[in-house]
Each structure stands twice: as structure tokens, then as C-alpha cells.
Amino acid sequence: MIDPVVLEFGLLVFTTLFATISPIDVAALFAALTKDSDAHHRRAMAIKGTLIAGGIMLAFALLGDEILGRLGITLPAMKTAGGILLLLIAIDMVFARPSGGSSTTDDETREAGSKDDISVFPLATPLIAGPGTMGAVVLLSAKAGGDIHLDIAIIVAIIVVLVVTLVMLMMAGRIHKLLGVTGLNVITRVVGVLLAALAVQFIFDGVASSGLFG
């Protein structure tokens, strides 16, 4: 029987990471960047990029507390800063604007378009394991407070999100054709609203636990 607290935390991690990565958006951009590649090459890049991104995210999840400790960053500060970063990403998602925190900039997209292999850049980072995602992982890792069960929930949630992302990448062409620009924007906006609510909650928690107001 799974502890309800662990299950709830795992769902929080999954929801947050799903929103920051936005696998459907990643798949759409992947389809555009690999339109001249054959199916075998696209599949290889999708697998390689997802594995590299997974390694980055797991490293941040396992070393999150140590990173904060060495930098002298308190948990309330991380909650507040992470919440603000996620809120900025959410705002861009609601208005269907590209965000440097969870997608490539115009210059990065042009550079990627000239490459034969985009598995490391821009697929692994910043599309999957971007600044927003890495910040969210560190924030959630700190929130777990060293509880082994919550840490396992983070790792499981990361793996599940990455599996979903890989499936989306494998189906990138069909997803792009099926949803079109309007459909993708609708999904992005809905996910953005959910991420905004989570971000504001992180900010509230950070300010409340900072001791600044009594």
C-alpha cells in the first residue's frame, strides 16, 4: 500500500515536471527540427536525448540538497525563487510565447537547424532538461527534506515523465499533424494555468516559512 503522502507528493512532482518540460511542445519542435532526418535517425536522437536529459535531472534530484547547502541557500529562498521562475515560464505558456527557461531561443533554434544530431543540444537541454526543469527538480528535492520515500517518489516521477516525453518524441510527426498550431497552443495554455497555480503555491510556502512576517 502506497503512503497517501508519498503518492500526493509524487503526483505533485509529475505535474510540475510535465508542465515545465511540456512533452507535446517538445515533440512538435523536435518534429520541425528533424523533418529532413529518416525515421531511424530520429528514433536514435529521441532515445539519446531523453537518456541524457534523464541523467541531468537525476543528478540534480540526488544532489539538490548538497547544492543548496554548499551555496548557502535556504529552503524558503529556494521555494520563493523557484516559484517565481516557474511562474514566469507559466505566464509565457499561457500566452503561447517561447520561453528561454523551457524552450530554445530563436538563435538556438537556428543553430540546431544546421546540425545533423540534435540529441544533446537542443533536445536534451534546454528542451527537456532546461533551466526551469532543473530548478524545479532542485526545488522539489529540497522540499522532500531528505525523506527517502519522497526522494524515491521524485525519481519515479522523473522516469515516468521521461517515458511520456520519449513516447511523444516517437510520435512527434503525427502529433504535430493531428493537433496543429492551434491545438498545441490550447494544450500549452491549459498546462500553463496549472503550472502558474503551482508556482504561486511555492512562492506562498517560501514566504510563509521564511519568518519575515512573524
Local structure of residue 3 (DSSP, 8 states)? -
Torsion of CA 33, 39, 41, 47, to 10 degrees: 90
DSSP per residue, 128-165: IS-HHHHHHHHHHHHHHTT-HHHHHHHHHHHHHHHHHH
Least Cα distance to 76 among 206, 174, 212, 187 occurs for 206
C-alpha distances (whole Å) from 206 to each of 79, 201, 212 are: 5, 9, 10
State yes or no: pLDDT of 163 exceeds 90.
yes
Least Cα distance to 169 among 77, 62, 44 occurs for 44
Domains of the chain, residue spans: 4-208
C-alpha distances (whole Å) from 95 to each of 24, 45, 83, 98 are: 16, 30, 18, 9
Segment of 1-10, 130-139, 141-150, 151-160 carrying the highest mean pLDDT? 151-160
- Dist CA 78 CA 92 (whole Å): 21
Peptide bond into 76 cis (omega under 30): no
Residue 156 confidence (pLDDT): 97
Position with higher pLDDT, 190 vs 51: 51
Position with higher pLDDT, 197 vs 65: 197
pTM of structure: 0.78
Q: Tens digit of pLDDT for each residue in 47-88?
A: 999 999 999 999 999 887 787 778 888 878 878 888 888 888
Confidence of residue 182 (pLDDT cuts 50, 70, 90): confident
The 3-state DSSP class for residue 38 equals coil
Q: What is the mean pLDDT of the chain?
A: 84
Mean pLDDT of 189-211: 84
Residue 126 confidence (pLDDT): 82
Mean pLDDT of 152-167: 97
State yes or no: pLDDT of 201 exceeds 90.
no
Mean pLDDT of 143-155: 91
Q: Tens digit of pLDDT for each residue in 19-43?
A: 889 898 888 888 877 877 888 999 9
Q: Tens digit of pLDDT for each residue in 78-129?
A: 788 888 888 888 888 788 776 555 555 666 566 655 567 889 988 998 889 9
What's the count of helices (H) and strands (E) in the chain, helices before strands?
Answer: 8, 0
